[in-house]
Amino acid sequence: MILEKDFSFFDWEYLQLEKPTDIYVKKLSDMKEHFIDNSSVLKILDFADLVLYKVEKFEPEKRKGNLIFSVTSLYPGTVGREYFFTQGHYHQNDFAEIYICLKGKGLLLLKDKNNEQVYNFEKGSISHINSNFAHRVVNIGDEMLKFISVYNVDAGFDYEKVIKEGGFSTKIVKSENSKGYKIETL
Ligand code: F6R
Ligand code: ZN
């Protein structure tokens, strides 16, 4: 039987799900240890706890092989010189993922234990992310960056493994003359 709860509408004007099963936000206070410049983090937090991104999910029943569909909206902005990014994670289990960029201008960072790679990720980009790479998106534009993710219900999230490896060593920062971005490696 095909259940009505297995359908969600997508609003193409506002680029959002009309019937998400879950919505959450990540704020600067949740992400403070991931930015290079701790004094800028604290200065902003004194003033306000910014929302860095919002995730709307459409999660079907947890049945083997089912897929989750989600939309991430990543705000534009910087903490010090560093552009806003999603935290980034490995999948706990051996499942790949597809990212489709709907709007904005960004970079996709992929890492495993030994290597990191940077790809352009902007409106129209479709990226197949192999199961063995941790993945993070950085918004280098001046508008909201929005992307769809599609992944297996059993993929799972492993944020700790990234932290144990010392995090992403690729940092995307504003260039000194403030025109465009620069890639720095820690
Ligand atoms: C799911 C996935 C995305 C992210 C979302 C937020 O596997 O990769 O839906 O969960 O973009 O990023 P994180 O989870 O890294 O905070
Ligand atoms: Zn993922």
Residues 6+ apart with CB under 8 A from 150: 67, 68, 69, 70, 97, 98, 100
Whole-model pTM: value is 0.96
Confirm or reject: Cβ of 149 under 6 Å from ligand 1.
yes
Q: Which atom of ligand 1 is nearest to the CA of 74?
A: 11
Give the list of residues 6+ apart from residue 117 with CB closer than 8 angstroms, or none.
109, 110, 111
| The pLDDT of residue 178 is above 80 | no
pLDDT band for position 3 (cuts 50, 70, 90): low
Q: Does the C-beta of 152 come closer than 6 Å to ligand 1?
A: no
pLDDT tens-digit map of 26-69? 999 999 999 999 999 999 999 999 999 999 999 988 899 999 99
pLDDT in tens, 123-170: 999 999 999 999 999 999 999 999 999 999 999 999 999 999 999 999
Structure letter (DSSP) for residue 114: S
For the chain, where are the alpha helices, taking DSSP H only?
28-31, 38-47, 159-164
CA of 46 to the centre of ligand 2 (A): 31
Statement: residue 117 has pLDDT above 80: yes
The verdict on the CB of residue 100 being under 6 Å from ligand 1 is: no
The answer to whether the CB of 72 is under 6 A from ligand 1 is yes
Question: pLDDT-derived band of residue 4, with 50, 70 and 90 as boundaries?
Answer: low
| Nearest residue (CA) to ligand 1, atom 12 | 86
Determine if ligand 1 sits within 6 Å of the CB of residue 151.
yes
